[in-house]
Amino acid sequence: MLTNKYIYILFLVQFAIMQDAIDGIVATIEDKIILKSDVVLNMQLSGVQLSQNSYTLERVYNDFLNKMIDDHVLLVAAENDTNVVVDNNMVDARLNEYMENIIKEVGSKEELSKVFNKSIREIEYYYRQQIYDSMLREIYIYNSIGDLDVSRREIEIFYSTYQDSLPVTPAQYNFGIIEVPISVTIEEDNRVKDIQLNLLNKIKAGTNFSELAKQFSEDPGTASSGGDQGYYKKGTLFPEFESVAFNLKINEVSNPVRTPIGYHLIQMIDKNDEQIHTKHILHLVDKNQNNKQTILTELNNIYDQTINDPGMFDSLAVFYSEKYNNNSGVYKNIPETQLPKDIQAILLNSEEYILNQPTVDIKQSKISIIYPYAIKPTGKPNMKSHWEEIELYTKNKKQTDLLIKLIQKLKHKTFIKYYN
């Protein structure tokens, strides 16, 4: 189902595509025009409330108009620079990624076409031009400014000037992790799936879903209530579970759904724009105990060999990352809020350079071992523990200053006309 927020955004985009000059030209940059509706659209898409007082609204409107003029000035310069060449394959890749995301959000190509009242080809043509123009500007700016380096002195001056206005940073972690999945035998997987298929046949024959959940579900948290999971938003449960659940119709029951812990039958109870209400019947798969013990022995050996050797641990973490394509690896400056909950729980109770014992996570079907290196607490960045962040802030400030100078220089040789 399309959310109200997304319908609103798509409506605004559709409005921009279909709008003609009837609302008035507010600026021209060489042969390019900016309509008043273009400015208003950008304001609305950025969350500006048009109900603000007229003085504030006029100031915000002028800020957006000037930003759009700056973008057009850069675009004109890029189009006239023979050294700026856009790779059409990269444009197509960006377009495909964008279209996949928007179609996924809307539900289907047909639904997207209805929202825009245009064919998919027309929608793609519009967005391709937007992406092409954006890449032109990006390449021109890069060619004009290049890769920026900042000296230690520049960083120190920046920090001295702006330290009080720097944002509070969340706790950050540097750590290495080795993660090994616990396998399940094919026989065990098929056994559990067959149990679910038998229950599904009973449901199709008229047996009450809730009664079967009370009798057979292996989820201790919901079995007694007939498998009732209540209302929840996306991002709450396993992705495999949610990808099926959020597409069910009310009262529809899914086929068996495999997640890291087992198989689920899911029944849709209710849904709205933001969340759904489901029931489920869970059957756990038994992990291969021999495999589990082998992994524990393997990771305990790594623990003994690397307890005082972070360098060796890092090398092994990279090896396991390539072997299993999972969370294994070495991570730097990861905000606490971006950590998976299981890793976050371990790191919150860890000390720097104290290797954790292997941890068995049956729910996630894995065994892991984590080596915490640096733990930066929540607070204002400082030169001692947040050097990399302050260096990045300094680079961004330097780039912004150079970009402003570049645009001002270009404006002196670009024809710009404002209209009332």
pTM value is 0.60
pLDDT of residue 55: 72
Cα separation values, 20 from 15, 23, 65, 245, Å: 10, 7, 18, 42
Q: What is the CATH number of domain 4-146?
A: 1.10.4030
Q: In the chain, pLDDT over 90 holds for what percent of residues?
A: 56
The two structure tokens encoding residue 80: 């006239």
pLDDT of residue 420: 72
pLDDT band, residue 90 (cuts 50/70/90): very high
Indicate whether 43 pLDDT > 90: no
The two structure tokens encoding residue 130: 């937007």
pLDDT of residue 23: 67
Write the class of the CATH domain 186-284.
Answer: alpha beta
DSSP 362-417: TTTTEEEEEEEEEEEPSBS--TTT-HHHHHHHHHHHHHHHHHHHHHHHHHTTS-EE
The two structure tokens encoding residue 336: 């606490």
Indicate whether 413 pLDDT > 80: yes
- β-strands 32-35, 359-361 pairing: unpaired
Considering only residues 288 and 311, tell me which one the structure prediction assigns the higher pLDDT. Answer: 311
Indicate whether 1 pLDDT > 60: no
Average pLDDT of the residues in 44-70: 83
Dump pLDDT digits (tens) for 2-15. Answer: 444 444 445 445 44
Q: Where in the chain is the domain with CATH 3.10.50.40?
A: 172-183+289-376, 186-284
Q: How many residues does the chain have?
A: 420
Considering only residues 403 and 43, tell me which one the structure prediction assigns the higher pLDDT. Answer: 403
Q: Nearest to residue 27, comparing CAs of 67, 60, 59, 55?
A: 67
Rg (CA), the chain: 28
pLDDT of residue 42: 81
Give me the amino acid identity at 11. Answer: F
Lowest average pLDDT, out of 281-295, 315-329, 384-398, goes to: 281-295
| Residue 208 main-chain phi, psi, to 5 deg | -70, 130
Considering only residues 70 and 188, tell me which one the structure prediction assigns the higher pLDDT. Answer: 70
Is residue 368 within 8 Å of residue 326, measured between CB atoms?
no
Dump pLDDT digits (tens) for 335-373. Answer: 888 888 889 889 988 999 999 999 888 667 789 999 999
Indicate whether 380 pLDDT > 50: yes
CA pseudo-torsion sign 96, 102, 106, 111: negative
pLDDT band, residue 289 (cuts 50/70/90): low
Q: Which fold has domain 172-183+289-376?
A: Chitinase A; domain 3 (3.10.50)
pLDDT of residue 190: 92
Dump pLDDT digits (tens) for 401-411. Answer: 999 999 999 99
Indicate whether 231 pLDDT > 70: yes
Q: Where are the alpha helices (DSSP H) in 80-182?
A: 88-106, 109-116, 120-145, 152-162
Per residue in 243-258, is it b (16+ CB within 10 Å) or e — as a string? ebbeebeeeebbebbb
Dump pLDDT digits (tens) for 160-179. Answer: 999 999 998 888 999 999 99
Query: What is d(CA 264, CA 247) in angstroms, rounded to the nearest whole number?
Result: 15
Query: Which helix or strand (DSSP H or E) is residue 5 part of?
Result: helix 4-18
Is residue 10 within 8 Å of residue 395, measured between CB atoms?
no
* Residue 228 CA neighbour count, 13 Å, CB half: 9
Per residue in 275-297, is it b (16+ CB within 10 Å) or e — as a string? ebbbbbbbbebebeeebbeebee
Q: Where in the chain is the domain with CATH 1.10.4030?
A: 4-146
Query: What is d(CA 288, CA 292) in angstroms, rounded to the nearest whole number?
Result: 6
What does pLDDT average to over the chain?
88
